[in-house]
């Protein structure tokens, strides 16, 4: 139900980001596991990732939101809702959104966490957009924040080279100018992917015990090759589908904004869409896979570098644990 039956879109009106100072480069990984800079760059595209030394996902989310607010005249108490996409909440409860609410002083907001791994930002963005379109809320913060270093096994060369820590946020507000904002989404989940990408213990299925710790079940488990194949198909198909559904040709799309898990998955998606590399947002080389933060981090950096313009059509796309995957089509509205 929309306010006064007047159609409105939800649109991104501000962006912000936080990346920790500490850098782990590929040389560092050469010193802790059996790997090489050449292997990591050629198989993943990653050169560096950031690690937070003091603090948790709520701290990074709060820094990103403060960065966002500093670009606006909006006060924290004007925020209606905070949605935190994360698989690394500070703790099971209270929700990270509550901790963020306190840290930024959003005293009139409610909020919740959303768990959809690497698709978390897309799922949260669609949820936030629906809250705006309902007419009930005017200012919704969607933040992706993941401290992947807290669940990464730094003795597992298959996975430890992939992940980094970061947070990034967007503000959603209503617009009655329907040329702009979030226009369509295709989102999916399929629990049959649970066996090949998960963190097994610490939940109600396998509460923490000495045994779960010894079996390293509190770390990310990933069968890379299987996930890789599913990700290439999932992300490429859904990005192509959303273009087709909305009658978009490659020349109508200013940027593909892909989840940053592997440069080869990104390239395969762009190829399927018929989009050249210069129209793909990429920062995996600097940050690795920061799970829910990758897509807003790309949006923030490219916008601040003057590369995204008002009126640009963007296709956001992600694939991750669950499986979860999807794409969102939006038209950028910030000058």
Judged by CB under 6 A, does residue 228 bind ligand UT7? yes
Q: Is 35 in the site for ligand UT7 (CB under 6 A)?
A: yes
> What DSSP character marks residue 163?
B
Residue 44 as a binder of ligand UT7 (CB under 6 A): the answer is yes
Sign of CA dihedral 314, 81, 145, 15: positive
Pairing of strands 9-18, 22-25: unpaired
Of 86-94, 244-252, 260-268, 274-282, the segment contacting ligand UT7 by CB under 6 A is: 260-268
Q: Which is nearer to ligand UT7, 172 or 231 (CB)?
A: 231
Residue number with the shortest CB distance to ligand UT7? 224
Contact status: 194 vs ligand UT7 (CB under 6 A)? no
Phi-psi map region of 174: left, alpha, beta (phi>0 left; psi -120 to 50 alpha): beta
CB-wise, 231 or 315, nearer to ligand UT7? 231
Single out the catalytic residue among 98, 118, 160, 298: 118
Residues 6 or more apart in contact with residue 133 via CB below 8 angstroms: 2, 8, 9, 10, 174
Tell me the per-residue interface mask from 135 to 164 with ligand UT7, x by CB under 6 A, - otherwise.
Answer: ----------------------xx--x---
Q: Which of residues 80-99 bind ligand UT7 (CB under 6 A)?
A: none
Q: Tokens 């080279």 belong to which residue?
A: 161
Between helices 57-69 and 96-104, what is the axis angle to 10°? 40
Q: Is 89 exposed, middle or buried (0-12, 13-18, 19+ CB in 10 A)?
A: buried
Minimum distance of ligand UT7 from residue 172's CB (angstroms): 24
Q: Are strands 140-147 and 197-198 parallel, antiparallel or unpaired?
A: unpaired
Residues interacting with ligand UT7, by CB under 6 A? 35, 39, 43-44, 118, 157-158, 161, 224-225, 227-228, 231, 261-262, 265, 289, 319-320
Active-site residue list: 118, 259, 289
């Amino acid at each position: 139900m929309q306010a006064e039956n007047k159609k409105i879109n939800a649109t991104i009106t501000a962006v912000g980001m936080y990346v920790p100072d500490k850098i782990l480069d590929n040389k560092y990984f050469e010193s802790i596991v059996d790997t090489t800079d050449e292997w990591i760059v050629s198989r993943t595209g990653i050169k560096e990732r950031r690690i937070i030394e003091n603090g948790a996902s709520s701290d990074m989310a709060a820094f990103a939101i403060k960065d966002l607010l500093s670009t606006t005249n909006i006060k924290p108490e004007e925020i209606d809702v905070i949605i935190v996409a994360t698989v690394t909440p500070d703790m099971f409860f209270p929700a990270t959104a509550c901790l963020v609410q306190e840290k930024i002083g959003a005293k009139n907001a409610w909020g919740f966490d959303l768990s959809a791994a690497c698709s978390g930002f897309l799922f949260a963005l669609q949820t936030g957009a629906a809250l705006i379109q309902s007419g009930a809320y005017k200012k919704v913060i969607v933040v992706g924040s993941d401290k992947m270093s807290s669940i990464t096994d730094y003795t597992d060369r298959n996975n430890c080279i992939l992940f980094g820590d970061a947070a990034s946020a967007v503000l959603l507000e209503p617009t009655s100018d329907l040329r702009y904002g979030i226009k369509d989404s295709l989102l999916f989940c399929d629990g049959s992917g649970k066996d090949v990408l998960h963190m097994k213990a610490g939940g109600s299925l396998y509460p923490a015990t000495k045994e779960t710790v010894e079996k390293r079940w509190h770390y990310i488990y990933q069968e890379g090759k299987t996930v890789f194949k599913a990700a290439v198909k999932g992300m490429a198909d859904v990005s192509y589908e959303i273009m087709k559904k909305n009658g978009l040709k490659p020349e109508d799309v200013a940027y593909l904004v892909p989840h940053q898990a592997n440069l080869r998955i990104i390239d395969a998606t762009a190829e399927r869409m018929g989009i050249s590399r210069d129209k793909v947002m990429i920062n995996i080389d600097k940050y690795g896979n920061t799970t829910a933060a990758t897509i807003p981090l790309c949006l923030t950096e490219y916008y601040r570098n003057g590369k995204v313009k008002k009126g640009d059509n963007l296709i956001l796309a992600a694939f991750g644990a669950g499986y979860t995957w999807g794409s969102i089509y939006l038209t950028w509205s910030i000058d």
